[in-house]
Structure 1
Amino acid sequence: MDGDMLIAVPAAVLGAAGFGLATAAQQRATHEVEEAPTLSPRLIGHLLKRPMWLLGLLATIIALLMQLLALAFGAIAVVQPLLVTGVVFAAAFSSLMSRRRPDPLILFGALLCAAGIAAFLLLARPVPSATDEHLDFWGGMPLGIGLAAVVVGSIAFSAVVRHPVRVLALALATGVMYGVTAGLMKVITGQLRVGLLEPFQHLTLYAVCILGPIGFLLSQNTFQQGRMVSPAVAVITSVDPVVAVLIGVSWLGERLDYSPALLAWQCVAAAVVVAGIAFITLRGTRLLHELDQESAAAGHGRPDVAPG
């Protein structure tokens, strides 16, 4: 088990760095093209012509490979919290691309989210199941229906409400899709240990081929509609591991510790995550206001993308 963690932990951190670079690059690229309706494939067609977006795509592929490697050697509830550090990397890369120093308070809020999620899941003391190449989909049907309702409701909310908060709704839907994809990818890694052709004999692989691109397209809509990357990434990377762990418990048979004392501390950890997201959002709003004032004083238009 210790040897497995020596592979899973570094791979997860490298995956987080890759996702951080990808989100920063993709956010800049999405603001260089015409805004597209949510889930419109036309957006990808426009983005394929942007070198910055292609850099983000390459980083995404590398990050996914690292995530697969981490999931092959570690439980979802251990691997996914490490991916939350992607919000720190995203804020840092976004600032570097804007040729500005990373905002310390944004980084603090990002670390707050990462610490809260890590504590929340580690307190649960996850125990992986004996087999992870099969999922109990019918037993987890209530969870599937609930997650689908969240995704549809979030997309509908973002279409109706024109307030900037709609970006966080899209981020919520993206996080759910990413979490579901991560849970299914865990199943595929278990099937690969049986044989290279084993995944092709199950529906899981084909579900990933459908849900994965939908989640990716949602993320591009999220980045395009938000001026700062950190608030959206904080929501995505916080929701993703929670959903993945719920799938691990409901569909894969992983077990969590539900003692009253630990549940109380998990509530505290969850509150820290919410506080971190709120802190990043409020600080981001303040930074956007200051940046707009600077641009107006210099006689420039409002920038579409802000660092952090």
Structure 2
Amino acid sequence: MSDTGTWFVVAVPAALVGAASFGMASAVQQRATKQVPNIRTLHPRLLFELVRKPIWLASVATVIIGLSLQVVALAYGPLMLVQPLLVTSVLFAAVHAAWLAHRRLDRLVVLGALACMGGLSAFLLLARPRGGDETIEPQAIPLGVLLGVLTVVCLVAASRFPGEIRVIALALATGVLYGVTAALMKVVASQFRAGGITEPFQHWVLYAVCLIGPCGFLLSQNAFQQGKLISPALAVITTVDPLVGVAIGINWFGERVTATPAVLGGEALASLVIVGGIVLLTHRGEVLRREIERVDPGDRSEPTWG
């Protein structure tokens, strides 16, 4: 079977089912976070509260299934095909959340999610990252510091601003940590292939994954708990994650991208589409939040569109 045939027979179905798994799990997780006390950002007590919820534990198992399918999709299809398909988890999450709450979807939310997916698709298609290896280059430090500073700024913003701004800040920090974790896991996988199961334990990368990955997951639960709506947070997470991955691939692993003036212009437009989608989701989310609170100030359930 040709590479293209394998993409559509294996990679596309695996990516779509994986996205559906992520979306369903996210909708369930957000609903579960509404059933436990509000807990400050990055406090592990939130996980201790959630682990008592059987439905939340089931959602974690669904996430594991989604991650496994993502690995299958990436094994048989290119990044620029798989990652945009995974962004459809935003739509799956919105549909599933609306179904759980017996409420309707909002058209502007769907439009914002499609803008994020389309912008990311165009960006990756134009960039076409390729080459590189799994060895972190010395010049990784400046980008690592930048990503660390960005994460801290997001956490500070989340502590100072209420509403959807807080949710977007938490989601942005989550996406950064997820992107870094994915890159480091790539290094761990290469160490395992080169030296066996004991090799990764001899390097700092595995221990960084064990720290950064759980922090990212905890932040995602904070974002879900703080937001009345799921799509803005999930759209930011699933969009920022691969974009951080591309930046790390270029800076840390020496990957190459197409960089002609026309391509750079197209990437800039694609980035604007992504930002526009996130702004639309944020603005619409704030409007719907106020509508929900006006109707029922004590309502912590899923909103009209998931």
Give the TM-score taking structure 2 as reference length: 0.89
Q: Of 286, 299, 303, which aligns to 1:302?
A: 299
Checking the alignment, whether the CA contact within 8 Å between 2:154 and 2:170 is kept in structure 1 is yes
AA aligned to 2:277 is G
DSSP 3-state at the match of 1:285: helix
Other-structure match for 1:60: 63
AA aligned to 2:138 is W
Within 5 A, what are the aligned runs for 1:130-169?
A: 132=133, 134-169=134-169
AA aligned to 2:149 is A
Residues 246 and 214 of structure 1: is their aligned pair in 2 closer, same or farther, counting only changes over 3 Å? same
Of 94-103 and 21-30, the range deviating more from structure 2: 94-103
Checking the alignment, whether the CA contact within 8 Å between 1:80 and 1:244 is kept in structure 2 is no
AA aligned to 2:125 is L
Q: Does 1:122 find its partner at 2:119? A: no
Checking the alignment, whether the CA contact within 8 Å between 2:228 and 2:302 is kept in structure 1 is yes
AA aligned to 2:272 is A
DSSP 3-state at the match of 1:102: coil
DSSP 3-state at the match of 1:165: helix
Q: What stretches of structure 2 of length at least 5 have no aligned partner?
A: none
Other-structure match for 1:96: 99
Residues 286 and 161 of structure 1: is their aligned pair in 2 closer, same or farther, counting only changes over 3 Å? closer
AA aligned to 2:151 is V
AA aligned to 1:257 is T
Q: CA deviation at 1:123?
A: 0.8
Within 5 A, what are the aligned runs for 1:1-308?
A: 1-2=3-4, 5-6=7-8, 7-129=10-132, 132=133, 134-194=134-194, 196-197=196-197, 198-295=199-296, 301-306=298-303, 307-308=305-306
Residues 75 and 144 of structure 1: is their aligned pair in 2 closer, same or farther, counting only changes over 3 Å? farther
Partner deviation per Cα, 1:17-64 (whole Å, 9 max, x = no partner): 221111111101011001111111111000011122112211111112
Q: CA deviation at 1:78?
A: 4.3
Name the CA distance, whole Å, in 1 between partners of 2:124 and 2:79.
10
Checking the alignment, whether the CA contact within 8 Å between 2:163 and 2:227 is kept in structure 1 is no
Residues 139 and 78 of structure 1: is their aligned pair in 2 closer, same or farther, counting only changes over 3 Å? farther
Q: What stretches of structure 1 of length at least 5 have no aligned partner?
A: none
Name the CA distance, whole Å, in 2 between partners of 1:117 and 1:16.
15
Checking the alignment, whether the CA contact within 8 Å between 2:137 and 2:254 is kept in structure 1 is no
Q: CA deviation at 1:199?
A: 3.8
Q: CA deviation at 1:3?
A: 6.5
Residues 143 and 10 of structure 1: is their aligned pair in 2 closer, same or farther, counting only changes over 3 Å? farther
AA aligned to 1:43 is L
AA aligned to 1:91 is A
AA aligned to 1:171 is A
Name the CA distance, whole Å, in 2 between partners of 1:201 and 1:167.
37
DSSP 3-state at the match of 1:89: helix
DSSP 3-state at the match of 1:38: coil
AA aligned to 1:147 is L
Q: CA deviation at 1:75?
A: 4.9
Q: CA deviation at 1:175?
A: 0.6
Checking the alignment, whether the CA contact within 8 Å between 1:174 and 1:219 is kept in structure 2 is yes
Q: CA deviation at 1:293?
A: 4.4
Name the CA distance, whole Å, in 2 between partners of 1:199 and 1:69.
22
Checking the alignment, whether the CA contact within 8 Å between 1:105 and 1:283 is kept in structure 2 is yes
Partner deviation per Cα, 1:94-153 (whole Å, 9 max, x = no partner): 111111232233122111110111111111122233xx4x32242211111100000111
Q: CA deviation at 1:226?
A: 0.8
Name the CA distance, whole Å, in 1 between partners of 2:42 and 2:289.
27
